[in-house]
Amino acid sequence: MEYNEIILKLAENIVMETPRLRLRPVTLADAEDMFDYATDLEMTKFVFPPHDSIESTREAIANFFMKKPLGAWGIELKDENKFIGTLDLRPHEGKRLGSSEFGWSISHKYQNQGYASEALSRVLELAFNELGQEVIFAIHDVENPASGRAMARAGMTKRGTVVKWQSSANLEGLRDFDAWQITRDEFCEYKLAKKD
């Protein structure tokens, strides 16, 4: 699939649902909910610098989610219409066409309830079934094993640890990161196994 076709498919899937979640565009109306978790030092430790004002949250939403909205979703609890986090899928171009990476953040209040793996599973379905991707990968700081558990529940496999890969948002020095991946074939096998 050509990159322009991938972008069109992302535009066609700007809103998606799972049994408990709605994945939809992030808007400035989400600033208060995002600010609530973006000021939590424990939650932001591995992801991004904490926000110091509601205005910095509004700027982050405008610059990251609204400037290029395709492939970036707000995670909302359907029953409560409550914004609890974000997820983004970044398909590659050129020589890396056919591969994507993703990242997410979920409010500390809503972690360990299966929301991350539920949202990730839906985005993996989109990536493999509609975007024609062959492989999806993600990394997380080794001191953030909850991210690895969410990826495992979505069918991904830890491929290894990259030593001194990059710095984390709020931690000093180069950090070790676990690398996770899933191929199209592995995803199909995982989905078949879940049906049994």
CA distances from 92 to 29, 102, 189 (A): 30, 11, 24
pTM here is: 0.91
CB 61 within 8 A of CB 85: no
What is the DSSP track for 20-77?
SEEEE---GGGHHHHHHHHT-HHHHTTTSPPPSSHHHHHHHIIIIIISS-TTEEEEEE
> Token digits for 11?
């535009």
- Cα–Cα dist 159/162, whole Å: 10
Quote the CATH superfamily of domain 3-195: Gcn5-related N-acetyltransferase (GNAT) (3.40.630.30)
Tens-binned pLDDT, residue by residue, of the chain (196 aa):
889 999 999 999 999 999 999 999 999 999 999 999 888 777 777 777 778 999 999 999 999 899 988 999 999 999 999 999 999 999 998 888 889 999 999 998 999 999 999 999 999 999 999 999 999 999 988 888 889 999 999 999 999 998 876 666 666 778 889 999 999 999 999 888 877 6
- Neighbouring residues of 30: CB distance < 8 A, sequence distance ≥ 6: 61, 74, 83
